[in-house]
Amino acid sequence: MARVTNAIGETLDDLQPLLWDQHCCLPLRPDADVGHLLRFQEIGGSFVSVNVGYAPNDADSTLRILESFRRQLATDQRFLLAGSAADVVTAQATGRLAVAFDLEDANPLDGRLDMVERYHRLGVRTLVPTYNYRNAAGSGCMDAEDEGLTAYGRAMVREMNRVGIVADGSHSSIRTGLELCEVSTGPVIYSHTCMRSVWEHERNITDEQARACAATGGVIGISGVGVFLGPNDISLDALLRHLEYAIELVGPDHVGIGTDYPFDIDDFNRELTENAELFPESYTRWGPIRFVEPETLSPLAAVLADRGYPDEAITGILGGNFLRVARQAWNPEAQNSPSAG
């Protein structure tokens, strides 16, 4: 690809061939094998964000998982723990897979705002305030009554902005997502979601949410979860329907990929059964949930090119847009890195 500049004036030639997945999952156990992530590297992936805790996890269990994942990654030369956007570019240049972490829910904070900075030091770079249902931070996408962010949730977002953790509206209610964009002084993302105008599901976001996210400079990561794409549809065409709708709505500078792929699908199904209260009928009506495999993304650049998208847009969608957010938000004072944890 030629040297190009995006709509924000940022040179993108150093990004190629960057492929960035803003959210995927390993089993939430210290004995989970991070080596599964290399499936993403095999298709040219340069970065993945791995979930390390959600609503059922408290701080102790989340920190044990983080300790194990970090230890495994640090001792395997095929990986690079990414504390900064520059680390991702370094991993890309050296043929390694950069990895950072994310949290899906405020519960792993144990109600303590000081935990935000601790998680940042340990490599967490995005955080979802609520997982489907209301908690101390705000309302979730499955709540019958949408009350938005709480005072604690607003204080948490301000602390996230301060230390360099990006606010993520996935799993949150419409109002919570919109208020994230009002409160945050940095870009807000939806790391793994789909478009409600394409397929009606509570986990998918409205056009209003998408526009508010883009207005912060944020990015919408289109998910590969079959029940969010359609009736448990995991075809590339289904993913493209949501991707292209989002591009048309907010522009190619604000769209990316967040597969939500669980590298152990049997473990995911156990999680679904053991925490059934978090997963209503809209998750299960189509039978066992199916997922777009990482390998499905291999032809994505070529498919987008065939559909007439310019190199600049393709580079951004595949990873450059999320890299832009990382450059802007991960290290606001350049004072922290995972190695400091």
Largest CA distance in the chain: 50
pLDDT of residue 222: 98
Domains of the chain: 18-333 (3.20.20.140)
Q: Is the dihedral of CA 91, 300, 194, 29 positive or negative?
A: negative
User: Which token pair is 67?
Assistant: 């300790």
Chain CA centroid to CA 295, Å? 18
Per-residue pLDDT tens for 151-182?
999 999 999 999 999 999 999 999 999 999 99
pLDDT at residue 284, rounded to an integer? 86
**The pLDDT of residue 308:** 97
The answer to whether 39 and 294 have CB atoms below 8 angstroms apart is yes
* The 3-state secondary structure of the chain, one letter per residue: CCCCECCCCCECHHHCCCCEEEEEECCCCCCCCHHHHHHHHCCCCCEEEEEEEECCCCHHHHHHHHHHHHHHHHCCCCEEECCCHHHHHHHHHCCCEEEEEEEECCHHHCCCCHHHHHHHHCCEEEEECCCCCCCCCECECCCCCCCCECHHHHHHHHHHHHHCCEEECCCECHHHHHHHHHHCCCCCEEEEECECCCCCCCCCECHHHHHHHHHCCCCEEECCEHHHHCCCCCCHHHHHHHHHHHHHHHCHHHEEECCCEECCHHHHHHHHHHCHHHCCHHHHCCCCCCECCHHHHCCHHHHHHHCCCCHHHHHHHHHHHHHHHHHHHCCCCCCCCHHHC
In this structure, are strands 79-81 and 97-104 parallel, antiparallel, or unpaired? Answer: parallel
- Burial (CB < 10 A; 0-12, 13-18, 19+), residue 64, is middle
For residues 314 and 132, what is the distance between their CA atoms, to the nearest angstrom? 31
* Angstrom distance (rounded) from CA 99 to CA 301: 22
Tokens of 260: 């939500």
Do 176 and 138 form a contact (C-beta atoms < 8 A)?
yes
pLDDT in tens, 228-250: 999 999 999 999 999 999 999 99
In the prediction, which pLDDT does 113 show?
A: 98
Q: Looking at the chain, how many residues does it have?
A: 341
Please report the pLDDT score of residue 15 as a whole number. 43
Residue type, 105: D
* Ranges of residues in the chain whose predicted pLDDT is under 50: 1-15, 335-341
236 vs 224: CA distance, rounded Å? 9
